[in-house]
Amino acid sequence: MSVRSHIAWLLLPALSLGPVAAAPPAAPPPSVRPARGEVEIQGTVQSVAAAEERLVVLVSRVIPAGKAPVVLEPPRAKTVRLAPKTAAILLHAPGAGQNGKRITTLREIRTGSTVTIVGKDGGPGKTLAARTVVVIAEATAPQPAPRGNGAVVVEEPPSTAPAPPPAEELLKPVTEPDAFQLNNFEEATGTMEQEGGALKITTKTVDGVDWHLSVVQNRVELEEGQTYTLRFRARSDTPRSLLVRAQINGDDSHSVGLHEPFRLEPDAGWRRFEYTFRAEKVKPDHGNICPVINVGEAVGTVWLADVSLKRAAAELAGSLVKPVTNPGTWNLLQLGAAKAAMEVDAGALRVAVSAVDPKPEYWHVQIVQWGVKVEDGQSYVLRFRARAGAARDLWVSSGFTGPPYVSAGLNERIPLTSDWKTFRVTFRVKRPAGRADPVLPTFNVGNRLGTVWIADVTLKPAEVTPTTPKETTAAATP
């Protein structure tokens, strides 16, 4: 596999956004530069699985051996494992010498630390085998942001507006002959057939490029700027990583708003997936393909069923955050002694807190979305539904990806009950001087044991009217 294909997973989403100005991280020691066939990535540690010797890094910069650096905006998550003969895990700090302090275990690497990692990348949807891990800047333990500006929570009467009519289905069903096609390129081969109301796709040979075998539906009409929701069920007979896309047919086959990896495990059985996206740079006259599901990553069988594409609910249009139902877009952070688990449950995020600190801190369990772009001084409306297993508080906040962990204008307490309620929080972004990193919309639930459900999350610019709050307000609707 070429160096170019090694970093394709990073470059595809970056190219559509163009170059951005970003200060590069501190230069690593010369001893960790990539050798031939290797790649260097730089970014922030998103999570640490020390027992499995595995990291998830939010990559902001990639440097192939002998090539110029590429800045990624927004950053892209990449799973990193330690190669069997990893040379070193180092803490590179001022005054510590060229190689710094040697770290003996991943447990010493904190979430939020800035790292440079060199190794061989397995390609799209696969892990990077690290030869060297260098911690450029250690993260300090995140601190709670200051309180906001006195949010006022008001319960409003439930909406009496009639439910909108069902959206039109835009895809042909999997049971219709020739509705879906199996495309193969180069050395990848496979078969596709109907089985029990599902598509059965068997990958027989692979050549190291996942899109060389893909399941598609052609001639799909998408409108520029329109928001759509793609749903499907899938299962596999082997553990595997896949990619779902929407793209144009022909030319450069660029993505038109949907480009998301997902994973299947055989023990999990059938899994439901839902992706909401905004169509961009589409091709008119049915010149689009949706979905495109790449199955050329590994040999084995995948089943697809109930594949559906419809216009998304009106309230999702224009949102700056991806819905909670989009797998992998909201991340669970656990700090201190706090422990929690998160899953998508009936269209909502279900977060079960199983352990808290001796002195509970609400910010020790966080649900965040990375890379959200907001403007300093602009007012925004965060809207969501939430409920809890028992009465408790939920904290909503906005902060930054690294220290110092200060508020970006929102940090408010929202009381929850066992009943679903809709909350609308209006706040103004306050970006301290010198801060250019993305703002993180965050839900905090580490203050007590129990379960919280969060659904229908949107973030949009507030309409500029005489009644737009100057600071932070909140309203709740049953």
- Which has more confidence, 207 or 472? 207
CB distance 184 to 212 below 8 Å:
yes
How far is 222 from 270, CA to CA, in rounded Å?
A: 28
Cis peptide before 13 (omega within 30 of 0): no
What pLDDT, on the 0 to 100 scale, is given for residue 471?
46
How far is 220 from 283, CA to CA, in rounded Å?
A: 10
CB distance 246 to 284 below 8 Å:
no
* 237-285 confidence digits (pLDDT tens): 999 989 999 998 877 788 888 888 888 998 888 998 988 888 888 887 7
- Which has more confidence, 320 or 438? 320
User: Which CATH number applies to 331-477?
Assistant: 2.60.120.260
**Which range among 16-30, 97-111, 148-162, 204-218 has the greatest average pLDDT?**
204-218
* Helix, strand, or coil (residue 379): strand
Sequence letter at residue 88:
A
- Least Cα distance to 478 among 424, 421, 425 occurs for 421
Q: Which two tokens stand for residue 69?
A: 């650096």
Confidence tier at 50 by pLDDT (50, 70, 90) = low
Q: Which two tokens stand for residue 451?
A: 């379960």
Q: Is 95 a residue whose pLDDT tops 50?
A: no
- Least Cα distance to 135 among 166, 104, 171 occurs for 104
Classified by CATH at the fold level, domain 181-312 comes out as Jelly Rolls (2.60.120)
CA angle 150, 463, 152 (to 5 degrees): 20
How far is 7 from 10, CA to CA, in rounded Å?
A: 5
Q: Nearest 10 degrees: CA dihedral of 347, 348, 350, 351? A: 150
Domain boundaries, the chain: 3-137, 181-312, 331-477
Count the residues in the chain.
478
Q: Is 26 a residue whose pLDDT tops 60?
A: no
Classified by CATH at the fold level, domain 3-137 comes out as OB fold (Dihydrolipoamide Acetyltransferase, E2P) (2.40.50)
The single-letter DSSP state of residue 9 is H
Q: Is 39 a residue whose pLDDT tops 70?
A: yes
How far is 172 from 194, CA to CA, in rounded Å?
A: 14
Please give the span between the terminal C-alpha atoms of the chain, in angstroms, as a whole number.
55
Please indicate whether the domains covering 181-312 and 331-477 agree at the CATH topology level.
yes
* Helix, strand, or coil (residue 370): coil
Question: Residue 152 class from Cβ within 10 Å (0-12 exposed, 13-18 middle, 19+ buried)?
Answer: exposed
CB distance 151 to 474 below 8 Å:
yes
% residues pLDDT > 90 (the chain)? 26
How far is 344 from 455, CA to CA, in rounded Å?
A: 10
What pLDDT, on the 0 to 100 scale, is given for residue 101?
58
Q: Is 11 a residue whose pLDDT tops 60?
A: no
How far is 299 from 239, CA to CA, in rounded Å?
A: 10
Mean per-residue pLDDT of the chain: 78
* 416-475 confidence digits (pLDDT tens): 999 998 898 888 888 877 777 777 789 999 989 999 999 999 999 987 444 444 444 555
How far is 459 from 379, CA to CA, in rounded Å?
A: 10
How far is 325 from 328, CA to CA, in rounded Å?
A: 9
How far is 39 from 65, CA to CA, in rounded Å?
A: 6
